[in-house]
Structures are given as structure tokens and as C-alpha cells.
């Protein structure tokens, strides 16, 4: 009888184990919850942004009022800099500068772009790796690493609060694992009362929307022969810039997480090559066949160089 009872227990345990193991959401589902929570909850956070240039402290408030997003980002030190959101209007206020408004879905300045990403799209080109649980802001979080499958882009490590699903810490890492930037929450409140602190935005007079002149979107005689997996062209333009006598042709690319541009203009300078890297941003320039090719954006230097070298012209 004991042997039969033991066998039944083993069978029952084997049937229950998969259900228990599947109780936790997948990394992709958890990141989707994070994105949804960041754009739907009423909350206030204080955080620091750590880059190669230094450390800045911010306060960010977010609320939903009548199905309408309201948000405010304030730089806490030095000259006052404030960014507010009302619906799809993002308004900028900075000491010594004329206020202006841009169209947008959310405030992106100093907040990790990955928080607002479409993870269903990224899953084709990135691996979401569960690292385990850890504490952040004295709260239990689930830690997930986001890594590009072809190894051509930076990676992220994200701490997601188990209760609210808000991001509590986000590290941006280069290909060698060195931290390039860090977003770290130091205190937060998730409560409907936060809506009251943003109520003044509903009736505030915001500056006019800034009109950006449309560039010529004609056909270009050049294109890259190689791009990282998942990267697509999202915009192009041909413009004349101050102090540059010839027009510059630009293509903007993105994979839904990182973005960069490729810019080409005629030049009489001799062939050369230059690389400048500042944190997450790389500028790779080379002059070839009387054309200056510049790749600018959120890319490792080796990736930016490979893209620049892959540019081919119709005459070639």
C-alpha cells in the first residue's frame, strides 16, 4: 500500500510541477506589463541618470485623467528644466530658451527608451533572458537582460518591480559588458493621489507646436548593403544646413529600440576616416569617392563602421 501511495504522490507532483513553473510570466510578458504600467498608472518617481558626462537627478510624475495622459519631468539641480506632456503634446521649458511643443506619445528625455518599446516586435531580434530576483529601492524586483541576437547592438539589464511592474533600474551595457548609462529610481509612490499634482496641466496654456520644415524625400543614389537584423528605414530627407554649401541626404533607421542615421554629402576633401564615441552615441565618418559618409546614432563603433563601409552608390 505504501508503494502505491508513493507512486500516486509522484504522479500528482509531476502533474502539478508544470503549472507551478508556468505561474511566473515569461520575460517578454513581464516587459510588456512594464511598458503598460509605465503608461497607465498614476505614480511619481525620483531617479538619477548616470552617464559618462555625470549624474543628474530628476522627478517624474505620470497620471491618467479622463483617459488622457499627463506627465511632468523636472531636472532637480541647476537651472530649471521642465518637460510636460498633455495628450500628444510634449512641451519643453528651459531657462534662457524659448518654450516649444512637439508631437509625441511620451516624454523620452532622460527616461529609458526601452520602457516604451514594442516587445512583440523586438522578440524577433532580441533575447529576453531572466536573471533572477533582486532588491531595488528596497523592493523585490525581477531582473531581465535584453540582448541582440546578432551581437551588433548594445544590451540592457532591467529591474522590474514585482508589485507595480514599474521599472526601478535600467542599465545600458556595451558589447564588453561595461555600463554606458544607468537609470536608477531612488524613491517612488504609485497612488491615484498623484493625479492631483498634475491637475494644473489640464488647463495650462502650452507653447505652440514647433513646425519642422519638410525636407525633400526624393530618390537617393546610394544605399547601405548591410544593416543589423530588424533595422528598417523610417524616414529620409535632403536638406541644406547652415555653413554647408551642398545638400545633405539622410536616412533614419531604427529597430524599435535603437536608432541611427546615415548622412551623405559631396565633398572635395581627400579620403579619410574618423571615429568619435560618447556614451551610447557613435559618430563614424569616412570620405570615399568624393562623398562624405557619416553614421550617427546608438551603435557600437564596430557596427557603425561596418554600416559606413557597406554604403554603395549607383555609379558603383
How many domains, in total, are found in the chain? Answer: 2
CATH of the domain at 253: 3.30.200.100
Reported as a single tens digit per residue, the pLDDT across 12-51 is 444 333 444 446 789 999 999 999 999 999 999 999 999 9
159 burial class (0-12, 13-18, 19+ CB within 10 angstroms)? buried
Are residues 294 and 174 located together in one domain of the fold? no
**pLDDT (0 to 100) of residue 22:** 45
Residue 13 lies in a domain: no
In percent, the amount of the chain with pLDDT more than 70 equals 90
Reported as a single tens digit per residue, the pLDDT across 234-253 is 999 998 877 777 889 999 99
Distance in angstroms (rounded) separating the CA atoms of residues 278 and 185:
24
Q: Is it the case that residue 108 has pLDDT exceeding 70?
A: yes
Comparison of pLDDT for 214 and 175, the residue scoring more = 175
**pLDDT (0 to 100) of residue 10:** 37
Are residues 187 and 226 located together in one domain of the fold? no
Residue 212 lies in a domain: no
CATH of the domain at 183: 2.50.20.10
Are residues 113 and 172 located together in one domain of the fold? yes
Are residues 164 and 289 located together in one domain of the fold? no
User: Which structural domain, as residue segments, surrounds residue 243?
Assistant: 222-313
Reported as a single tens digit per residue, the pLDDT across 52-97 is 889 999 999 999 998 899 999 999 999 999 999 999 999 999 998 9
Q: How confident is the model at residue 5 (pLDDT cuts 50, 70, 90)?
A: very low
Distance in angstroms (rounded) separating the CA atoms of residues 256 and 230:
8
In the sheet that holds 281-288, the strands lie side by side as 232-239, 248-254, 259-266, 291-298, 281-288, 272-278
Residue 72 lies in a domain: yes
**pLDDT (0 to 100) of residue 214:** 62
Amino acid at each position: 500500500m505504501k508503494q502505491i501511495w508513493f507512486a500516486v504522490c509522484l504522479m500528482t507532483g509531476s502533474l502539478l510541477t508544470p503549472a507551478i513553473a508556468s505561474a511566473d510570466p515569461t520575460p517578454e510578458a513581464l516587459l510588456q506589463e512594464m511598458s503598460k504600467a509605465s503608461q497607465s498608472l498614476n505614480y511619481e518617481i525620483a531617479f538619477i541618470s548616470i552617464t559618462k558626462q555625470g549624474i543628474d537627478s530628476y522627478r517624474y510624475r505620470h497620471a491618467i485623467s479622463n483617459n488622457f495622459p499627463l506627465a511632468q519631468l523636472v531636472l532637480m539641480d541647476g537651472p530649471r528644466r521642465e518637460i510636460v506632456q498633455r495628450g500628444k503634446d510634449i512641451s519643453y521649458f528651459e531657462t534662457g530658451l524659448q518654450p516649444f511643443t512637439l508631437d509625441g506619445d511620451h516624454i523620452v528625455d532622460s527616461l529609458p527608451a526601452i520602457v516604451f518599446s514594442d516587445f512583440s516586435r523586438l522578440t524577433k531580434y532580441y533575447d529576453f533572458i531572466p536573471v533572477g530576483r533582486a532588491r531595488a529601492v528596497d523592493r523585490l524586483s525581477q531582473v531581465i537582460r535584453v540582448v541582440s541576437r546578432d551581437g551588433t547592438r548594445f544590451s540592457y539589464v532591467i529591474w522590474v518591480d514585482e508589485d507595480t511592474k514599474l521599472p526601478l533600474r535600467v542599465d545600458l551595457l556595451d558589447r564588453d559588458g561595461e555600463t554606458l548609462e544607468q537609470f536608477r529610481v531612488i524613491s517612488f509612490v504609485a497612488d491615484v493621489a498623484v493625479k492631483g499634482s498634475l491637475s494644473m496641466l489640464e488647463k495650462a496654456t502650452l507653447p505652440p507646436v514647433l513646425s519642422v520644415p519638410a525636407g525633400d524625400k526624393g530618390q537617393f543614389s546610394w544605399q547601405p548593403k548591410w544593416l543589423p537584423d530588424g533595422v528598417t528605414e523610417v524616414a529620409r530627407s535632403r536638406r541644406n544646413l547652415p555653413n554647408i554649401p551642398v545638400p545633405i541626404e539622410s536616412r533614419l533607421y531604427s529597430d524599435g529600440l535603437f536608432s541611427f542615421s546615415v548622412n551623405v554629402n559631396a565633398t572635395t576633401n581627400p579620403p579619410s576616416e574618423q571615429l568619435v564615441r560618447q556614451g551610447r552615441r557613435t559618430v563614424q565618418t569616412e570620405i570615399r569617392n568624393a562623398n562624405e559618409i557619416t553614421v550617427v546614432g546608438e551603435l557600437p563603433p564596430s557596427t557603425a563602421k561596418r554600416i559606413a563601409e557597406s554604403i554603395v552608390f549607383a555609379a558603383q
